[in-house]
Amino acid sequence: MIQFTKNVAVLTLFAATLVGCSGVSIIPFDQEGPKKTYPPVPASQVLIYKTVKPFKNYVELGQISRRTKNGVNMESVFESLREEAGKYGAEAIIGFGISSTTATETTMKRVCMNNICTMRPEMTTVSYHNCSGTMIRKK
């Protein structure tokens, strides 16, 4: 049941990123019984791991992600993920990864020639990056 809940959470997270959310998104994993809350952890103490699991016994709190557009400073992405995970009580983010997609966007550009102005469509390619991982805390 927990694996099913995690799969649904990940699919929901993916769908949410497609509609253009910005900022940090958290999808909590449902735990058995009443929702347990944890004290906040300072952002400077929240660690981010690509593959390593820092402790043997831990509880998975939820999926955290941030969607960015084009060349965003990755240090600011890490900082925002640490801040939000810390507020949630996470001590680390594991399985951290970045997936990228590109899209073509159409914007209207004002073009003037001989005092006559018109609006013309202009196509640009935009890259989106979804940075995500699982928030954990020691048991």
SS3 33: coil
User: Which pLDDT belongs to residue 10?
Assistant: 39
Domain boundaries, the chain: 2-138
User: Which pLDDT belongs to residue 108?
Assistant: 92
What separation in angstroms does the CA of 36 have from each of 29, 83, 86, 137? 11, 19, 15, 12
Mean pLDDT along residues 100-119 = 91
Distance CA(37)–CA(29), nearest Å, equals 12
Structure tokens at 88: 């949630």
Mean pLDDT along residues 53-68 = 89
Residue 16 has pLDDT above 50, yes or no: no
| In contact, 21 and 67? CB cutoff 8 Å | yes
- Picking from 10-14, 57-61, 62-66, 128-132, which range would have the lowest pLDDT averaged per residue? 10-14
User: Which pLDDT belongs to residue 74?
Assistant: 82
124 exposure class (CB count in 10 Å sphere: 0-12, 13-18, 19+): exposed
Structure pTM? 0.69
